[in-house]
């Protein structure tokens, strides 16, 4: 078993790679390394998603309130 650095992946990565690794799996390792890179960790996609949850919750509450309102009108 060789370390990831043999495949020109510098830095400390949590991947076990041997010489038999195929191109596709090596691409996967590179993608995962890029995903956890310090610059990507600062990316908008990796930041907390409070605003997404609030938006979804707001739509849900609007839907429920509309349901209650229409139901009340026809009750």
Positions that interact with another protein (CB under 8 A): 8-11, 14-17, 24-25, 27-38, 40, 43-49, 51-53, 55-57, 59-60, 62-64, 66-67, 70-71, 74-75
Cα separation, 38 vs 64, whole angstroms: 41
Rg (CA), the chain: 23
Picking from 16, 38, 40, the residue whose alpha carbon sits closest to that of residue 28 is: 16
Query: Residue 15 corresponds to which tokens in the numbers above?
Result: 């991947």
In angstroms, give the least distance from the CB of 43 to another protein.
5
CB of 6 to another protein, least distance (A): 13
CA separation for the pair 72, 51 (Å, rounded) = 31
Task: Provide, rounded to whole angstroms, the least separation between the CB of residue 45 and another protein.
Answer: 5
């Amino acid at each position: 078993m060789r370390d990831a650095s043999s495949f020109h992946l510098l830095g400390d990565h949590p991947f076990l790679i041997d010489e038999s690794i195929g191109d596709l799996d090596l691409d996967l390792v590179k993608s995962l390394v890029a995903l956890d890179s310090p610059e990507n960790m600062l990316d908008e996609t990796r930041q907390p998603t409070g605003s997404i949850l609030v938006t979804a919750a707001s739509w849900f509450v609007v839907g429920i309130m509309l349901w209650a309102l229409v139901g009340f009108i026809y009750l």
